Amino acid sequence: MKLKYILSIILIGGMMSCSDNFTDLAPISQRNVGIFYNSASDIEVAVNAVYNTLKSDGCYNQSYWVLQELRSDNTFWDGTGLAEEITVFDKFTDIATSDITEAAWNESYLGIARANIVLARIDDVEFSDGTFKERLRGEALFLRSLYYYHLAVAFGNIPLVLTETASVEEGQQHTQVGASSVYAQLISDLTEAETKLPQSYSGNDVGRATKGAAGTLLAKIYLTTGDNSNAETALRRVMGYGYSLVADYADIWGIENEHNSESIFEVEFEGGFGDQGNNFTNQFNGDLAGAVTSGLRNIPERDLSDAYETGDARFAASLDGVTDDVEGWTIKYGLTNSFSEDDAANNWIVFRYADVLLMLAEALGEGTEAYDLINQVRARAGLGAIDANTPGTFSEKLLQERRVELAFENHRWADLLRFGVAEAVMSAQGKPVNGKLLFAIPQRELDLNSNFVQNPGY
């Protein structure tokens, strides 16, 4: 699967690229369209290019963890000079001209544009295998939904573009819609995708989107919209797809443990090919970065370290270097050394089964079954059971469990928003939100689209 990603970007890279005017959604090159998208293998290469965008700096290689983890109470970074471009997100002093948010916008929409091309052209291509054709359609729908989910959580009011964009002029006519409209579309797309995708793969196809991936994202969106009943239904389907918790939490991580029984969807990175490896393995890990108190990014907050209970096996598998004077670093993405500096092969796990169990507890609300689900996760960590008599509200206990179980995995800011506690939690940490629950629409988009409206706080 990783090799396919690499081939994809080589073959399709010349046909789509980011333009300076980006809400045009990377218009296709008319010079190449006539000789491509003519066969089933062409469509497969095009789908692989949609996957490949996940690895960009604007997505899982940087922007997504800045917008989800660094923004939250989980991590911080005190960079200076050029590094301050990232630090401002921790301090809620980011502005509309930030390269980080612009990259998130641009690269997410690049992935969407690539998916839209597949969906627009797949019916005009003859396939000898109809099941394969529908599987590729399902993959494109899932991937487009994943990009849109990140955009909706981050920016709220965004263009919802579902057709192939063929010109800059067409791109500049897009209008914003509210996140609720985006989520409604994603619910429809993911419902369709889940029916078309297989439960699992073998050989080189391992790592592609599955029914479980579509169902997990669908459930997360249902929870985000407050539809707990449909979230429960989707999550129970996912539970029937054959996933299970890895016995030892430490065995979730590292190249040798990729695509384990708990993994539902991962972003595939591969070192040694120039632009296919990740940089977060080195940037997050003090041992690999050669720095203990400086040079790190996404550094654990002290109150995250303190949030782990005594005896919690997740602490040692997630953090290292924590002392009275040093906050330490995360080792989830650094248990295996990089191929070379900032070119590591460690995958980013997007969804895993523990998240499914905790989301189902959230959908059910306080009760025996919900605590049983939470306690499955706690038992794996070597901790005792909790119940209604354990101090705190059900939401507080569940949010705490999600924090230590899923730390550094790009869930925390979305969780704080979904649970309605972002402002309170961040204020308690001494970082007032100042109305910035959404990120700034990139200034370039406002300049190009006079009908766009900026988010509050900017």
pLDDT along the chain (458 residues), means of 10: 41 38 40 75 97 97 97 89 84 96 97 97 97 98 98 98 77 86 98 98 96 99 98 98 98 95 97 87 79 73 97 96 91 73 91 99 98 98 98 98 98 98 97 96 95 96
Q: Residue ranges of the alpha helices (H) in 345-434?
A: 353-364, 368-380, 394-405, 412-418, 422-428
- The burial of 455, by beta-carbon neighbours within 10 Å (0-12 exposed, 13-18 middle, 19 or more buried), is given as middle
pLDDT of residue 12: 42
Task: Output the CA torsion 377→250→194→203 (10° steps).
Answer: -150
Closest CA to 132 of 190, 208, 191: 208
pLDDT of residue 296: 83
pLDDT of residue 138: 98
pLDDT of residue 26: 42
Closest CA to 4 of 55, 68, 38, 49: 49
Closest CA to 447 of 179, 169, 166, 172: 172
Closest CA to 43 of 106, 130, 109, 150: 130
pLDDT of residue 4: 43
Here the tokens at position 315 are: 């602490």
pLDDT of residue 290: 60
pLDDT of residue 167: 61
Domains of the chain by start residue, with CATH: 2-271+297-334+344-448 (1.25.40.390)
> Rounded to 5 degrees, what are φ and ψ at 43?
-65, -40
pLDDT of residue 21: 35
Closest CA to 251 of 243, 240, 267, 262: 262
Here the tokens at position 181 are: 């409209």
pLDDT of residue 456: 96
pLDDT of residue 171: 54
Q: Which residues contact 453 (CB under 8 A, 6 or more apart)?
A: 157, 176, 441
